[in-house]
Structure 1
Amino acid sequence: MKILFVSPFDFTNPGGVNEHILHLDAQFRRLGHETRILTPRALGEDESDDGHFIKLGTAVPIPANGSTARITLSPFVSGKVKELLQREQFDIIHLHEPLAPALPLLVLLHSQTVNVGTFHAARSYHLAYLYAKPFLGYFFNKLHGRIAVSPAALDFVSRYFPAHYELIPNGIDVTRFHPNVPPIATYDRPTILFVGRYNESRKGLKYLIEAMALVRREFPTCQLVVVGPGDPERYRRLIERVNVAEHVHFVGPVSADERPRYYTACDVFCAPATGRESFGIVLLEAMACGRPVVASDIRGYRFVVRHGVEGLLVERKNPEALALALVHLLADPALRQRLGQAGRARAEQFAWPVIAQQTLEYYERVRARVAPRLVRAAQRWTAGLPAFLRGPFDGEQS
Structure 2
Amino acid sequence: MRIGIVCPYSFDVPGGVQFHVRDLAGHLIGQGHEVSVLAPADSDTELPEYVTSAGRATAVRYNGSVARLNFGPVTASKVGRWLDQGEFDVLHLHEPVTPSVSVLALMAADGPIVATFHTSMLRSRTMQTAYPIIRPSLEKIAGRIAVSEDARRTVTTHVGGDAVVIPNGVYVDRFASAPRRSAWIGTPAAPTIAFLGRMGEPRKGLPVLAAALPAVVKAVPGLRVLVAGPGDPDEVTEGWPPEVVGACEFLGAVSDDDKASLLASVDVYVAPNTGGESFGIILIEAMSAGACVLASDLSAFSRVLDGGSAGAMFANEQPDDLARTLVELLRSPERRASLAEAGQLRARIFDWSVVADKILAVYETVIEGRAAATPPQGRWNRFLRGGAR
Q: Same fold (TM over 0.5)?
A: yes
Cross-structure match for 1:73: 71
Show CA shifts across 1:208-229 (max 9, x none).
1121111123212112111111
Relative to structure 1, the CA distance from residue 49 to residue 250 in structure 2 (aligned partners, 3 Å threshold; closer, same or farther) is: closer
- Structure 1: runs of 5 or more not aligned: 383-389
C-alpha distance in structure 1 between counterparts of 2:290 and 2:98, whole Å: 36
Aligned residue among 378, 386, 389 for 1:395: 386
TM-superposed deviation, 1:178: 1.2
C-alpha distance in structure 1 between counterparts of 2:64 and 2:286, whole Å: 23
1:161-176 alignment runs, 5 A limit: 161-176=159-174
Cross-structure match for 1:254: 254
TM-superposed deviation, 1:157: 2.8
1:155 matched to 2:148: no
- Structure 2: runs of 5 or more not aligned: none
Tell me if structure 1 keeps the 8 A contact 2:264–2:291: yes
Show CA shifts across 1:97-135 (max 9, x none).
112233222222222320000011112442222232221
Cross-structure match for 2:186: 187
Cross-structure match for 1:143: 141
| Percentage of matched positions with identical amino acids | 36
Relative to structure 1, the CA distance from residue 184 to residue 130 in structure 2 (aligned partners, 3 Å threshold; closer, same or farther) is: farther
1:327 matched to 2:327: yes
Tell me if structure 2 keeps the 8 A contact 1:38–1:54: yes
Relative to structure 1, the CA distance from residue 207 to residue 50 in structure 2 (aligned partners, 3 Å threshold; closer, same or farther) is: closer
TM-superposed deviation, 1:51: 6.5
Tell me if structure 2 keeps the 8 A contact 1:124–1:276: no
Cross-structure match for 1:196: 197
Tell me which amino acid in the other structure corresponds to 1:197. R
Tell me if structure 2 keeps the 8 A contact 1:154–1:165: yes
C-alpha distance in structure 1 between counterparts of 2:327 and 2:308, whole Å: 15
Cross-structure match for 1:385: none
C-alpha distance in structure 2 between counterparts of 1:226 and 1:73, whole Å: 34
C-alpha distance in structure 2 between counterparts of 1:105 and 1:307, whole Å: 35
Tell me which amino acid in the other structure corresponds to 1:219. V
1:216-227 alignment runs, 5 A limit: 216-227=217-228
1:233-382 alignment runs, 5 A limit: 233-240=234-241, 243-373=243-373, 375-376=375-376
C-alpha distance in structure 2 between counterparts of 1:325 and 1:220, whole Å: 16
User: SS at 1:303's partner residue?
Assistant: helix
C-alpha distance in structure 1 between counterparts of 2:315 and 2:374, whole Å: 48
Tell me which amino acid in the other structure corresponds to 1:95. L
User: SS at 1:182's partner residue?
Assistant: coil
Tell me if structure 2 keeps the 8 A contact 1:114–1:374: no
Show CA shifts across 1:330-355 (max 9, x none).
11111111100010011111011111
Cross-structure match for 1:211: 212
Cross-structure match for 2:4: 4
Tell me if structure 2 keeps the 8 A contact 1:57–1:74: no
Tell me if structure 1 keeps the 8 A contact 2:81–2:385: no
TM-superposed deviation, 1:235: 3.1
Tell me if structure 1 keeps the 8 A contact 2:90–2:111: yes
Show CA shifts across 1:196-244 (max 9, x none).
1111000111111121111123212112111111111223333226x32
C-alpha distance in structure 2 between counterparts of 1:106 and 1:131, whole Å: 16
Cross-structure match for 1:132: 130
C-alpha distance in structure 2 between counterparts of 1:45 and 1:225, whole Å: 31
1:13 matched to 2:4: no
C-alpha distance in structure 2 between counterparts of 1:24 and 1:143, whole Å: 20
Cross-structure match for 2:92: 94
Cross-structure match for 2:38: 38
